Structure 1
Amino acid sequence: MSRADRRASLKQAYGELYAEVSRLVREADPIRLIAIGAPDDEYDVEVSTILPRLHEATSASDVHRIVYEEFVRWFDADIAGPPEIYVAVSEEIWNTCQRSAEAPNREAPGDHHGGVR
């Protein structure tokens, strides 16, 4: 499955939750890529690997761990920066998941090993 197909599948599977988490991460802009002119979908790959892992989360702290791990995975620790810059967006994602009937206890169809970029 191509990256674009995987993202389309996740958008369909998670619906509004995908859009909301993508918006939250984009607005947080933890690596400051949007601020320097990156496209609005710059963090969609990271969102595509964060969402399937949210079923692991039982707290905002768990979401923080997941979000930070995925940013380190895609950008490495030096570029991702310190974990503290992900606290606020992780709390917002957790609150969004708590309000959503769709998550966090969902995996994307066919995703049992984490996403691929």
Structure 2
Amino acid sequence: MDSYLPWVQKWLPGLSDFNPMHYVAYFILGLTVAFALGRRAGTWLGVLLNIAFCVLYGLSDEWHQSFVPKRSPDPLDLLHDGMGAAAASLLVFLIFSLVNRKKSKNYREG
């Protein structure tokens, strides 16, 4: 999986490893939480709630791994989980912002 690392480091300098499944899983979790938040997902408070929930879930997952044989908790995994959730939260926020902008009375095409 680290074969993608040099490409990803161009966008996220300082990243020491890259496991896309952490990003994908928590991106999907972030979308799910955004769906549960409804309209609130389109606010900055909703973004923060979404990320906080996903990071807390990731923290519980890392803690759980400390009890599983041949597994160990990894703070970098938690960072990657949070980044996936943040990407989903910000995407949902952007979509809400664009949709609300087009519905605004002050919006003009072109």
| TM superposition score normalised by structure 2 | 0.33
Considering Cα pairs closer than 8 Å and 6+ residues apart, tell me whether 1 or 2 has the greater RCO. Answer: 1
| TM superposition score normalised by structure 1 | 0.32
Q: Considering only CA atoms, is the larger Rg found in Structure 1 or Structure 2?
A: 2
Richer in helix (by share): 2
